Amino acid sequence: MADLLGDVAKYYTEKLRAHGETPNGVDWNSEEGQVLRFEQLAKVIDGSVPFSISDLGCGYGAFYGYLSKRFSRFAYIGCDVSEAMTEAAARRFPDANAKFVVAAEPPESCDFAVASGIFNVKLGSADAEWLKHVHATLDVLDRAGKRGFAFNCLTSYSDKERMREDLFYGDPCRLFDLCKRRYSKQVALLHDYGLYEFTILVRKPQP
């Protein structure tokens, strides 16, 4: 697992170096698509009261920038395996209610946890090996989000001619079933927002 994450960190560090603090710098095609993804992930949040949130694979902090325009009462922890990414995020957002750490797992639990795009780039890993990594990371998100978590993934329903060998395309039905059986009865699958991906929201019943 350490070697796998080391390769991922190197990949994204090189992307950041090549494209800067932009959607291309975290391997997204456009800002419009990035915002659309954030809109889906943010649906797991109950913003009617102050909340805390951890962002696994935070990159240069774009999701924090999105949240800060929409919520005023929240605390944020961004984690990334690329030190260059967390350094860029800290420079962009030196806010008191945000901190960025180099880590593969949030250092503490929050109300919510999210992960955007971290399952897409499998590089040379076999699908079976990468799927084990996905499952292990969902356990991390479950521990990190006391009230719920959300993640996205490229879909196995993508057009075959557009699919790439170095990317992972998850089966939305199987991952929905896994989340439903393993984490909570309150699970939503979003696959209707116009991108070749899906988002899963896991909400946990509160006492």
Residues 32-39 have a mean pLDDT of: 92
Q: How confident is the model at residue 151 (pLDDT cuts 50, 70, 90)?
A: very high
Angle, in degrees to the nearest 10, between helices 83-92 and 2-19: 50
The predicted pLDDT at position 53 comes to 98
| Environment class of 1 (CB within 10 Å of its CB; exposed 0-12, middle 13-18, buried 19+) | exposed
74 forms beta bridges with 51
Per residue in 76-116, pLDDT (tens digit) is 999 999 888 899 999 999 987 899 999 999 999 999 999 99
The pLDDT of residue 40 is above 60: yes
Mean pLDDT of the chain: 90
* Percentage of the chain exceeding pLDDT 90: 71
Q: pTM of the full predicted structure?
A: 0.89
Domain carrying residue 117? 2-203
Burial class (CB in 10 A: 0-12, 13-18, 19+), 36: middle
Question: Is the pLDDT confidence value at 167 over 80?
Answer: yes
CATH (domain of 64) = 3.40.50.150
pLDDT score for 168: 95
Cβ atoms within 10 Å, residue 206: 9
